[in-house]
Amino acid sequence: MKKAATRDGYGQGLMELGEYNQDVVVLSADLTESTRTLEFSKKYPGRFIEAGVAEQNMAGMAAGLAFEGKIPFAGSFSVFSPGRNWDQIRVSICYSNANVKIAGSHAGLVTGEDGATHQALEDIAITRCLPNMVVLVPCDALEAKKATVAAALYKGPVYLRLAREKTAVVTTFETPFEIGKALVLREGDDAAIIACGTMVYPALEAAESLAAEGYSVCVINNPSIKPLDTETIVAAAVQTGAIVTAEEHQINGGLGGAVAEVLARNAPVPQEMVAVNDTFGESGRPKELLAKYGLTPWHIVDAVKRAVGRKQEQS
């Protein structure tokens, strides 16, 4: 299967936007190559700003550009933005509802050898709690490009979560993308796996493995963490009676928590969460880290079986 990093899709989306939208401006915190903004800086130097290693300043600059009618995309590693400049994002961008797009690259364990200090595992939690903020976690490079374009069209703050590692491309050019919408990739009746980002393909692999054991499992790609597609999530809960969430993020405050909030209010059913269990990462190869911290298809398989077992105990 073809593989590409979601950060590549972000760079491609910026190049497309730069061609037809003169208001799009790109900012970088001395990471143009890593965040895939280098080509934009070369082709549109008049609409590119190198902020240097100063993420707090970059957030303020982006807010000012937005107030002057521009559509700024501010990119850095996600541990630095939104990690290091959360206060500036909260006050200068979200409180003012400024039309700023924050691109956090190198998120999650698949940042690999860079280790715990560079593996953002809390960024979904700290952004989705902010009023006015939209949080998007595309599952592959194609979806990342669509999410970047959609972010430019949306009026208000947006956080785009991106990864360094190449991952399987599971969508196509025709696959729809809309802020606030999830997409059912596979139908099923026994349980539903709701996944985002790099965990979508492992969720599909898990469903395929479970099918060989006689389980019928629905798989939902949920790139829009906020706003959440409540209708699709509730429908899956009602149809299957068992939910599993899968994300490359801390178990607290991420997709699993967001889904649990929806289920508690609308359709309480057994839920299991596949996520990093309240710990920091470490330096290592991406595949090794995903295995150690419980983020493989086989961990999803076990979670589905637990959720189905709990459902059966309640019936």
Largest Cα separation within the chain, whole Å, is 64
Tokens of 228: 């959440």
* Separation CA 184–CA 5 (nearest Å): 22
Tokens of 262: 């929806």
Contact call for residues 218 and 191 (beta carbons, < 8 A): yes
Q: Is 248 a catalytic residue?
A: no
Query: Which amino acid is it at 25?
Result: V
The C-alpha torsion from 108 through 109 and 112 to 113, rounded to 10°, is 100
Candidate list 55, 143, 247, 272, residue with the active-site label: 55
> Which 3 state secondary structure label does DSSP give 224?
strand
Tokens of 248: 């490359």
> Which residues 6+ apart lie within 8 Å of 122 measured at CB?
83, 249, 250, 253
Catalytic residues: 55
